[in-house]
Structure 1
Amino acid sequence: MGSPTVALLRSYMTAENSAIAAAPISVRGGLLQAAAGVAAFSLTLPSTAWGLESFGPWSLAALRTVLAALIALAFLAGRRVPLPQRRHWAPLAVVAGGTVIGFPLLTTLALGTSSTSHAAVVVGLLPLTTAVYGAVRGHRSPSRTFWYGAFAGAAVVIAFAVQQSGGGFSTADLYLFCALLVCAAGYAEGGRLARELPGWQVVGWALAGSLPLAVAGGAVALAYEPVRLTEHGVAGLVWVAAGSTFCGLYVWYRGMAAIGVARASQLQLAQPLLTLLWSVLLLGERLGPVAVVAAVAVLVCITVTQRARA
């Protein structure tokens, strides 16, 4: 390939990168991208369960971050993206701590003693925690109708979780509740930051900043946790690294930047139900009739929140 062609491609990539950062996407486009992020995230827990067939929880959490960070660095280097400005460092640290390190590690630890279906319904509270964090952080609140739908959806998820767990909470639930808090902060800060930077750069820099800690943690974990490579284990690791952590977060932050943190977070009410479906198809878990009722109720809540104006 001649130098004029190379120069033209580089010019195109630079222009494309600038256009992505400057031109906001439409509301419909934002909804579609946020929904694509939810679809990617819905596979995270089943893929993590697969990954635990080959790796220990600490090793799996560290390796997924390392692989995702290497993908992100390749994109950042390929497009010659400049370092983020100093004012972006604090939000990026929150994104890294919440979505890159905290949530993956805590949910992986929870799946060591909990089923995927149980974890899915507890994580279903994430839309409410994200919406609350976004409202407080942004010093504004959505309409009453929005909150009625949000709390109703959360109530359905809580009732479903309690019913499935026999009315009690376990150590795995504590891990999951902590995961909700840190991930809500990461989602909300990432959504705000994606209004200034392309979503993939928000994800990319958060992953890049986490790489040294992930490498160190992975080296220690692999020294103590056994590794038994299987097809499911490797596939699970690849998906949580490339699919959920990088690609999923990319479209998710783009979507939040277009439609707002609160509205985008309510799309995640569908995430536990999708995860339940994947747990049946991929893990062979049984799905009872209560889940079907919960699915219908949650979808109604999603409709209410999406129609309510902020």
Structure 2
Amino acid sequence: MRAQSSATTATAITVPAPREHRSLGTGLAALGVIAFSLTFPSTAWGLESFGPWSLVAARSVLAALVAGGFLLILRVPLPERRHLPGLAVVAAGVVLGFPLLTTLALRTSSTAHAAVVVGLLPLTTAVVSALRMGHRPSRRFWAAALAGAAAVLAFTVGQSGGALTAADVYLFAALLVCAAGYTEGGRLAGIMPGWQVIGWALVLCLPLTAAGAVLALAYEPVHLTWHGVTGLVWVAMVSQFLGLVVWYRGMAAVGIPRASQLQLAQPLLTLVWSALLLGEHLTAAAPLTAVAVLVCIAVTQRS
């Protein structure tokens, strides 16, 4: 009966034309970028109430409980064994590695300086994707990607006064593990729905993150504030789950290299949020960099 109902539903759905499919995928990926652009300011808020280890563990546990609830309610079958290595890479890179490394960096780094990570992430993701999946973007694509990354790097480093800090070790490590997680997540999103990719990655990590939350909360002091709780809720519900749902779906629709270039706009959005929410100062270079980045995005989307 269920199979017949599913078949009837499937035949009633109109498959979008390729151009419509790409437009929808680009829009979903853009929503993911907007969600991610608030991650660093929200993390800074969360650190007002929680220690770095407590914040990372708590956000993963909350996101896993929500994702697990959806998986149970919808009776989603367990992933096939052949998909487990890819899900492990997603979990290591997106659920554990990137949140922990960037949170540790934000203890001593401003959000403007940390934005260099996401400024270089599109290029790194495209490189990892090319090595992992055999993608061969055009020379114009690579030239535009390099130009966009260079513009964002120059802007974010200029925002921090041009100085490199100890937090850069965490930031560049986060860059590599996140690119690997994005690549594997984008690949798996072509096989299963994107929300299931991040959902299963979160659930796989739940035993580890739950134990980590208990230990961290026992040793790190907690001082609950409105900012701290709001920051935790955002990074758990949006950055860790909902944002990745639309992001992986967008990558599956338009391809990993093209979708990754939309993230060139993420550092600028992060800097805007940092100025509005954290009171960080922005220089006059922001509009010029924004124009340069948008041009690069336009070129990569047409390459």
User: TM over 0.5, yes or no?
Assistant: yes
| 3-state SS of 1:218 partner | helix
Structure 2 residue corresponding to 1:187, chosen from 179, 182, 187: 182
| 3-state SS of 1:125 partner | helix
Distance (whole Å) between structure 1 residues aligned to residue 282 and residue 12 of structure 2: 45
| 3-state SS of 2:282 partner | coil
Distance (whole Å) between structure 1 residues aligned to residue 10 and residue 60 of structure 2: 24
Task: Name the structure 2 match of 1:153.
Answer: 148
Give the Å deviation of 1:47. Answer: 0.5
Structure 1 residue corresponding to 2:289, chosen from 285, 294, 307: 294
Give the Å deviation of 1:140. Answer: 2.5
Which whole-Å deviations, capped at 9, do the CAs of 1:176-226 have from their partners, x for residues lacking one?
111010000000100000001000100100000011110111111111110
| 3-state SS of 1:294 partner | helix
Task: Name the structure 2 match of 1:270.
Answer: 265
Give the Å deviation of 1:19. Answer: 10
Give identity over the alignment, percent: 67
Q: Flag the 1:78–1:297 CA change in 2: closer, same or farther, 3 A.
A: same
Q: Which amino acid aligns with 1:173?
A: D
Task: Name the structure 1 match of 2:274.
Answer: 279
8 Å CA contact 2:117, 2:174 repeated in 1? no
Where does structure 2 lack aligned partners over 5 or more consecutive residues?
A: none
Distance (whole Å) between structure 1 residues aligned to residue 12 and residue 63 of structure 2: 25
Query: Within 5 Å, which residues of 2 pair with 1:1-310?
Result: 26-308=21-303
Which whole-Å deviations, capped at 9, do the CAs of 1:50-109 have from their partners, x for residues lacking one?
100100011000000000000000000000000000010000000000001100001111
Q: Which moved more, 1:180-189 or 1:25-34?
A: 25-34
Where does structure 1 lack aligned partners over 5 or more consecutive residues?
A: 1-6
Distance (whole Å) between structure 1 residues aligned to residue 7 and residue 180 of structure 2: 31
8 Å CA contact 1:123, 1:176 repeated in 2? no
Q: Which amino acid aligns with 2:39?
A: T
Task: Name the structure 2 match of 1:3.
Answer: none
| 3-state SS of 1:232 partner | helix
Distance (whole Å) between structure 1 residues aligned to residue 10 and residue 87 of structure 2: 19
Paired residue total: 300
8 Å CA contact 1:95, 1:206 repeated in 2? yes
Distance (whole Å) between structure 2 residues aligned to residue 98 and residue 252 of structure 1: 15
| 3-state SS of 1:188 partner | helix
Q: Flag the 1:15–1:124 CA change in 2: closer, same or farther, 3 A.
A: farther
Distance (whole Å) between structure 1 residues aligned to residue 239 and residue 296 of structure 2: 25
Distance (whole Å) between structure 2 residues aligned to residue 60 and residue 19 of structure 1: 44
